[in-house]
Amino acid sequence: MGLFTRRNQTAQSQEGGAVATLDVDPALAAVTGDYVIDAAHSSIGFTVRHAMVTNVRGTFAGHEGALHLDGADPSRSTASIDVKIASVDTGIGDRDGHLRSADFFDAETFPLMTFRSTRAAQLGGDAYRITGELTIKDVTRPLSIDLEFNGSATDVYGNERVGFEGSAEILRSDWGLTWNAALETGGVMVSDKVKLTFDISAIKQA
């Protein structure tokens, strides 16, 4: 059952006929509330094609964010995420340093990448799409993230948690990330297309 799924009930219309109305499932209504992303159990990552033949994967370990979930009306759900650029980690120190430099993110001048949602919708079942504005290096452009709701649970410490995983694709050049190098065999060192991945665990606030 989806996070915002509702069950049908019947009511009498003014003309005396039966009409279908929507009622929020109590179990889903209980998920409604404000949440803080648990960075220790969440991952924000990316995949980019390198030298035309393989993929490089990385993560941003430093991030924080908040969610508001509305179990009755998904359009009122919101998300905000702040990512620390300097926390980029691809497993190779020299490469991470290059990504932090002015050739790419310029982490010293632009320390944060941010996302602020503007719209949310259920696509069907546990699938959702959240649309908002992604800002990198002071360039703000729209971004839609397709998400799957993984469920809710109470952990061993009594925290009420929800989980989502999702992805989106961007062209890094749209945000001014244009550095590249030509290959002798043709093509370029780093692809323009980047896949973003999100694996989010969030804790409900009292």
CA distance 105 to 108: 9
pLDDT digits (tens, 9 = 90+) for 92-149: 999 999 999 999 999 999 999 999 999 999 898 889 999 999 999 999 999 999 999 9
CA 67 centroid distance within chain: 11
Give the model's confidence band at 6: pLDDT under 50 very low, under 70 low, under 90 confident, else very high: very low
> Residue 126: its pLDDT value, please?
87
DSSP 74: G
3-class SS string, the chain:
CCCCCEEEEEEECCCCCEEEEEEECHHHHCCCEEEEECHHHCEEEEEEEECCCEEEEEEECCEEEEEEECCCCHHHCEEEEEEEHHHEECCCHHHHHHHHCCCCCCCCCCCEEEEEEEEEEEEECCEEEEEEEEEECCEEEEEEEEEEEEEEEECCCCCEEEEEEEEEEEEHHHHCCCCCCECCCCCECEEEEEEEEEEEEEEECC
Beta bridge partners of 136: 139
- pTM for the model stands at 0.85
Q: Is the pLDDT of residue 17 over 60?
A: no
Amino acid symbol at 172:
R
Coil/strand/helix, residue 61: coil
CA distance 41 to 49: 26
Amino acid symbol at 21:
T
CA distance 19 to 14: 10
Mean of the per-residue pLDDT values of the chain: 88
pLDDT digits (tens, 9 = 90+) for 148-181: 999 899 999 999 999 999 999 999 999 999 999 9
CA distance 21 to 129: 24
CA distance 145 to 129: 6
